[in-house]
A and B are shown apart, each in its own frame.
Chain A
Amino acid sequence: MSGFLLNRLSQSIVLLVIVSIIGFTVLNLMPGGPLAQFGLDPGMTQKDVERLAAQLGLNRPLWLQYLDWASRLIRGDWGHSFRDGSAVLSVIGRHLLATLLLMGTSTVLAIAAGTWIGIRGATHRYSLFDYCATVGAMVALSVPTFWFGLIGIYIFTLKLGWVPAGNMYTIGDGSVLDYLHHLILPSLVLSLVHVAIWSRYMRTATLDALSQDFVKTARAKGVSERRILLKHVVGNALLPMITLAGMQLPSVLTGALVTETVFTWPGMGRLFLDSLGYSDYPMVMGLLIFSAILVVLGNLIADIVIATVDPRIRLG
C-alpha cells in the first residue's frame, strides 16, 4: 500500500507542477501581461504602469517570476486582490464551502438517480424505459446548464412559487431548512448532466457484471435475481464509480460556475466571474490554479479511497 501511495503521490506532485506552469504561462502570454487592463485605464500613465510592474517584479525574466510565484504559492502567499487588498487564499476559502455544498449535493443526487436508472436500464435492456433513458441521457448531455437553470427558475419559482430564485439563504433566517430550500433547485440543475453520465456508466457496468461467471454461479445456486443484483452486481459496478467521480470533477466545477451565476450562489464560480469583471488579476490567477489543484487532489483522494477498498488496484 505504501508503495502505491508513494507512487500516486509523486505523480500528483509532478502533475501539480505542470498545472502551475500551464496556468502561469497562459496568463503571462497575454498581450500586455498581468497589467494589460491598466493600459486602457485613462487614469494611469505609462509611467504608473511601469512603476507597478517594477513593484510586482514583472520586469524580471519569466522563469524567475515563475519560481518566485510558485514558491509563494507553496507557502500559502497567493497575493492580494486588486479590488480590496484582501488575501486571495482567504477569500477563496470563504467561498469554497458554498461551492462544495452545491457540488456535493448535486453529486449525491446524480449518483443516486444515475445508479437507479442505469441498473434498471441494464436489467430491462431494450425496453421502452431503457430506450427513453438512453435518448434522455444524450439530450441531457446537450442541454446548456444555464438554460436548464433558467427554465427551472421559470417553472418552479415564477410559475409554481415553490423555491426561491437564487441566493444561499434568506437574510435573517438561515435555518437548515432555509438552506435546503435554497439548495434544492441549483443542485438539481447541476446534477442533470451528471445523471446522464452516471446512468450511462452504470448501465454498461451492470451489463458487464451480469455476464460474469460469478453471476451464473449464483443463478445456478438458486440465488434470487434481486439478491444477485444487490449483492453481486451493484457492488462490483459501484467500485469504479469512485474513480469516475474523480474524473468528473472538472466538469462538475464547470457546471458549478454556471449554476452559481444563474442562482447568485455565493461560491467560487461567482467569485471568479466577479473577479473577471473587476480585472482582478491575482484573484483570477488564484482561482484558476485553485480549481486545478482541487481537481488533482480530488483524483488523488479517489484513487486512494478505491485502493483501500479494492486490493486488486494497489496490488495489480
Chain B
Amino acid sequence: MTTIVVHAAPTRWWHSRAVARFMRHHLALVGIAMITLLVLACAIGPYALPYDSLQIDLRARFAPPLSGHHYFGTDPLGRDLAARLLEAGRVSLLVGFSAMLLSTLIGTLVGVTAGYRGGWVGAALMRVVDGFLSYPSIFLVLALAAMLRPSPVMITVIIAVTSWMETARIVEAEVRSLREREFVQAARMVGLSRRHIMFREVLPNAMGPIIVAASLAVARAILLEAYISFLGYGIQPPLPSWGNMLNGAQQYLASAPWLAIIPGAAITIAVTSFNFIGDGLRDALDVRNDHI
C-alpha cells in the first residue's frame, strides 16, 4: 500500500503571481524605494538635524543651501529649510495618506452600494458621483477650506470628501459585473444577508481595482494639499507643509530660488513615487487600463 503525501502548494501572498509581476516592474520598485527613504527621513531626520523647524535665527536669514550646517539653506526668518522640509513631509504625507484612507472608504461604500443594489438607488448614487465630478476639484476644496477652520484634520476631511468619486466609479463598475456571477447567486440562494454578500462576498473580489485606485489617490491627495496650502488655505503656519513652504516663495524667486525649488522637488518626488507604485500595482493586479 502506498501512501500519497500531498504537499499543499505554498499559498502565502508573497509567493503569488501578482507579487512576482510587481517585483518585475522597475518603476514601481523605484517608487517603493523612494517612498521608504522619504518616510524614514521624515520620521528620523528631525531628530538628527542640528536645528529645530521653528527655530528663528535672524542673523542667518536667506542662507543659501550648503552654508554651514544649513544643508538646504534657510528661509526669510532664518529657519533651517532641511528641518522644515522633513517636518513638513510628516504633515503632507500623513494628510495625503489619511485622506486616501477616508476617500477610499467613502468611495468603496458608495460604489458597492450603487453597484450591488442597482436600480434607482444605484442610478441616483452614480448621478451624485457625476455631479461631484463636474466640479473642478480645486474650486470645491478651496471654497470648503476657506469657510471651515483649517486644521490638518479638517483639510484631510475636505480632500477626502472631494475626491472619493473616482473610487466609487471604479468599484461600482466592478461590483456591477460581479453581481451576476455564480458565486453571488449561490450566496443569495443560501440566504445570506445583502450586507454580508455585498461586503464579504463581492467586495473581496473587487479589491484589485480598489488598491490601485488607492495608491493613485495618495498621489492626488498630496498634490491637492500642496495646491491649497500653496494658495494659503491649507495647512496653516507655523505648522509647515510642503505646500505652505512654497506659499511665500514666489516673491523671493530672484534672490532665494532654493525656497521654491526644494519643497517643490519634495512634492514631485513623493507624488511621482506613488504614481509609479500605482502603475506597478495596476500591472501586477491585472486591472484593466481604462483609466488613463
- A-side residues, CB < 8 A to B, are 14-15, 18-19, 21-23, 26-27, 30-31, 36, 135, 138-139, 141-147, 150-151, 153-154, 158, 197, 200-201, 204, 249-251, 253-254, 257-258, 261-262, 272-273, 276, 279, 284, 287-288, 291-292, 295-296
Q: Once the chains bind, are A273 and B231 in contact (CB under 8 Å)?
A: yes
The 8 tightest CB contacts between A and B, nearest first, are A147-B264, A18-B131, A142-B271, A253-B136, A142-B272, A254-B138, A250-B136, A254-B136
Q: Once the chains bind, are A261 and B135 in contact (CB under 8 Å)?
A: no
Q: Once the chains bind, are A138 and B131 in contact (CB under 8 Å)?
A: no
Contact check: which of A139, A150, A261 meets B264 at CB < 8 Å?
A150
A-B contact pairs, 5 of them (CB 8 A): A15-B131, A143-B271, A144-B264, A147-B268, A276-B233
Number of residues on chain B facing chain A (CB within 8 A): 47
Interface segment, one of B15-23, B73-81, B245-253: B245-253
Closest to A196 in B: B292
B256-278 CB mask vs A (1 if < 8 Å, else 0) is: 01001100100110011011100
A154-B260 contact given A26-B144, A253-B136, A254-B136, CB 8 Å threshold: yes
Complex interface residues of chain B between 139 and 166 (CB less than 8 A to chain A): 139-140, 142-144, 146-148
Q: Once the chains bind, are A138 and B147 in contact (CB under 8 Å)?
A: no
Contact check: which of A23, A138, A296 meets B279 at CB < 8 Å?
A138
A118→B276 CA distance, assembly (Å): 19
Contact check: which of A143, A153, A201 meets B253 at CB < 8 Å?
A153
Please give the distance in Å from B135's CB to the nearest CB on chain A: 5
A250-B133 contact given A138-B275, A147-B267, A200-B292, CB 8 Å threshold: yes
Q: Which residues of B contact A142 (CB under 8 A)?
A: 219, 223, 268, 271-272, 274-275
B127 is an interface residue with CB less than 8 A from chain A: yes
A144-B223 contact given A22-B128, A138-B279, A257-B136, CB 8 Å threshold: yes
Specify the main secondary structure of chain A where it touches its partner.
helix
Max chain A Cβ within 10 angstroms of own Cβ: one of B138, B140, B253, B261 = B138
A211→B237 CA distance, assembly (Å): 55
Closest to A251 in B: B136
Q: Once the chains bind, are A150 and B134 in contact (CB under 8 Å)?
A: no
Q: Once the chains bind, are B134 and A144 in contact (CB under 8 Å)?
A: no
Max chain B Cβ within 10 angstroms of own Cβ: one of A19, A150, A201 = A150
A150-B249 contact given A250-B134, A254-B136, CB 8 Å threshold: yes
Q: Once the chains bind, are A138 and B27 in contact (CB under 8 Å)?
A: yes
B137 is an interface residue with CB less than 8 A from chain A: yes
Q: Once the chains bind, are A158 and B134 in contact (CB under 8 Å)?
A: no
Q: Which residues of B contact A138 (CB under 8 A)?
A: 27, 272, 275-276, 279
Q: Once the chains bind, are B253 and A144 in contact (CB under 8 Å)?
A: no
A249→B267 CA distance, assembly (Å): 24
Closest to B223 in A: A144
Q: Which residues of A contact B264 (CB under 8 A)?
A: 143-144, 147, 150-151
Closest to A297 in B: B134
Contact check: which of B135, B230, B254 meets A295 at CB < 8 Å?
B135
Q: Once the chains bind, are B134 and A15 in contact (CB under 8 Å)?
A: yes
Q: Which residues of A contact B275 (CB under 8 A)?
A: 138, 141-142
Contact check: which of B130, B246, B253, B276 meets A146 at CB < 8 Å?
B246
Q: Which residues of A contact B134 (CB under 8 A)?
A: 15, 19, 250, 292, 295-296
Q: Once the chains bind, are A144 and B231 in contact (CB under 8 Å)?
A: no
B2 is an interface residue with CB less than 8 A from chain A: no
Closest to B228 in A: A258
Please give the distance in Å from B144's CB to the nearest CB on chain A: 7
Please give the distance in Å from A29's CB to the nearest CB on chain B: 9
Max chain A Cβ within 10 angstroms of own Cβ: one of B27, B134, B146 = B134
A262→B227 CA distance, assembly (Å): 11
Contact check: which of A19, A197, A253, A262 meets B131 at CB < 8 Å?
A19
Q: Once the chains bind, are B146 and A18 in contact (CB under 8 Å)?
A: no
Closest to B30 in A: A135
Q: Once the chains bind, are A158 and B253 in contact (CB under 8 Å)?
A: yes
B51 is an interface residue with CB less than 8 A from chain A: no
Q: Which residues of B contact A284 (CB under 8 A)?
A: 143, 146
Q: Once the chains bind, are A144 and B142 in contact (CB under 8 Å)?
A: no
